[in-house]
């Protein structure tokens, strides 16, 4: 049910039916595959990601179908932790400032402990960013929209075919079972001895390649 209602239009075709709507599959020349709906190729990770949301520079990995719930949990818990650090720092400054009027005591405490004051300011700046990021993803997941789709305006002028209602969207994003990786740890890939990987798992490399390629068993990125 839900987003998993995907079926081939006909055998050998390049389109699928998603919740009653025909979606064309895009071909990835790098991975040598027809990508599933909502999948996209990440230039940084150099692989296609199912239900691609975005590439996170802070984590150094892509966020997609298999780790989106973990990502949302991470930013929410980080927001709570940062709130705790800021609140604790302000409370310490208040106590060190003789515990009078809140604003004045914090100011006096900051003069006595500039290190704690610096920590409070640092935590406050990060809290603004984390609250905006958390709010953005809570809004996106509630309507089953990815960051990539939001930035490209995919659903700006048409109905979102993946929107199943608030509760179902939250369940799909955070509570649905995590599918197994389609990448095989024992897959054989073409390795260019002079540097870099050939195009595609088990492929022949790029057209017109002159360097020798050797088949090696490696652990691909998941």
Question: Known catalytic residues?
Answer: 56
| Secondary element (H or E) of residue 7 | strand 6-8
Residues 101 and 79: their CA atoms lie apart, in Å, by 28
Tally of CB atoms within 10 A around 198: 20
Estimate the crossing angle of helix 102-112 against helix 68-96, to 10 degrees. Answer: 90
> For residue 15, what is the enclosing H or E element?
strand 15-18
d(CA 90, CA 101): 13
Using alpha carbons, select from 204, 156, 169, 130 the residue that is nearest to residue 51.
169
Residue 33: exposed, middle, or buried by beta-carbon count in 10 A (0-12, 13-18, 19+)?
middle
């Amino acid at each position: 049910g839900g987003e998993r209602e995907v079926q081939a239009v006909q055998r050998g075709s390049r389109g699928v039916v998603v919740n009653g709507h025909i979606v064309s599959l895009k071909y990835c020349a790098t991975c040598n595959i027809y990508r599933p709906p909502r999948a996209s190729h990440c230039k940084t990770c150099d692989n296609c990601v199912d239900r691609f949301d975005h590439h996170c520079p802070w984590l150094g990995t892509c966020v997609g179908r298999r780790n989106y719930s973990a990502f949302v949990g991470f930013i929410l818990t980080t927001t709570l932790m940062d709130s705790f650090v800021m609140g604790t720092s302000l409370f310490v400054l208040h106590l060190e400032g003789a515990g009078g009027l809140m604003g004045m005591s914090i100011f006096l405490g900051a003069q006595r402990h500039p290190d704690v004051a610096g920590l409070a300011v640092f935590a406050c700046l990060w809290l603004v960013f984390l609250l905006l990021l958390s709010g953005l993803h809570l809004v996106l997941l509630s309507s089953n929209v990815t960051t990539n789709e939001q930035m490209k305006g995919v659903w700006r002028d048409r109905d979102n075919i993946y929107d199943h209602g608030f509760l179902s969207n939250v369940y799909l994003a955070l509570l649905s079972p995590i599918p197994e990786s389609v990448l095989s740890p024992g897959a054989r890939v073409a390795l260019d001895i002079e540097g870099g990987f050939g195009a595609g798992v088990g492929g022949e490399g790029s057209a017109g390649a002159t360097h020798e390629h050797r088949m090696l068993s490696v652990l691909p990125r998941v």
